[in-house]
Amino acid sequence: MIKNIIWNFKLPSNYIKHHLTHLQFNLIKFNFLNKLNYKYSFWNLNIDSLFISFFLGLIFLLIIKYIINPVKYNSLPNKIQTIIDILILFIYKNVIDIYGKKNKYIFSLSFTVFTWILFMNLIGSLPIDLFNYIFYFIFNTNIFSFVPSSDLNITLSMSLSVFLLITIYKLYKFSLKDLFREILFSPFNCYICIPLNIILEIVNFFSRILSLSLRLFGNIYSGEIIFLLIYYIVPWWLQLFFILPLTLLHVLISFLQSFIFMILTLIYVS
């Protein structure tokens, strides 16, 4: 069993491929695809990304409850809650600076986007091989990707969800007539240019979705490849000197990508 748990890859590409391969579930055959060399299909679900995203969402809700309790019972916040309060004030200030006024819906969207993406990014700083060993013992599979934001399906679905919420908010804030007027007469305010305005609006809509999803996916995915190469090529005793700087770099990248996603969301909704 030990030989089945320890993966001896001769090439770094095999090691990277293994750790970036998703545990998929086929909706047609209704079974798990527990193989490295499978073909991607529209009917395959990345179960690992969905599971980790859902799990981190539950943690996010528990943190929110943890924040509300001292306020509800008029008790003093502890150090963790003070740090979270600083994060809330940081996001609130950016909402005021970019959106221009207080809005609880925009703040909730920004806070959720920032925190959820930050959690998904930071989970990549955990020991990847250790969790693969654990999943092998529990689920009898060594295929499991632990960073949802390195999955294009997750980043693309988040971008689509954000723009769906932005569209619903604009329908709530403005009338349907005003929304169509903005689409038909922007940027050129004349009847002749309506077809051109529609084409530009479609291109603008899909380019924003792609810019949000591909930027987050590209940075996190490339970071995972770099870290996996270091873990594979550098000897374990030499990795001790890389732990602190690499961890700090990963935390910085995770925070920066979450911040950029939130800022672009605020810009697009403004």
Tell me, what DSSP letter sits at residue 150?
A: G
Burial of 17 (C-beta count, 10 Å sphere; 0-12/13-18/19+): middle
219 has catalytic annotation: yes
34, 69, 75, 211: the active-site residue: 211
Task: Number of helices (H) and strands (E) in the chain: give both, helices first.
Answer: 11, 3
Q: 100 — alpha (psi -120 to 50), left (phi > 0) or beta?
A: left
How far is Cα 164 from Cα 231, in angstroms, rounded to an integer? 39
26 token code pair = 């086929």
213 has catalytic annotation: no
Measure the N-to-C terminal CA separation of the chain; round to a whole number of Å: 57
Contact (Cβ atoms closer than 8 angstroms) between residue 41 and residue 27 = no
215, 222, 254, 270: the active-site residue: 215
215 has catalytic annotation: yes
Contact (Cβ atoms closer than 8 angstroms) between residue 208 and residue 268 = yes
Q: Looking at the annotation, which residues are catalytic?
A: 211, 215, 219
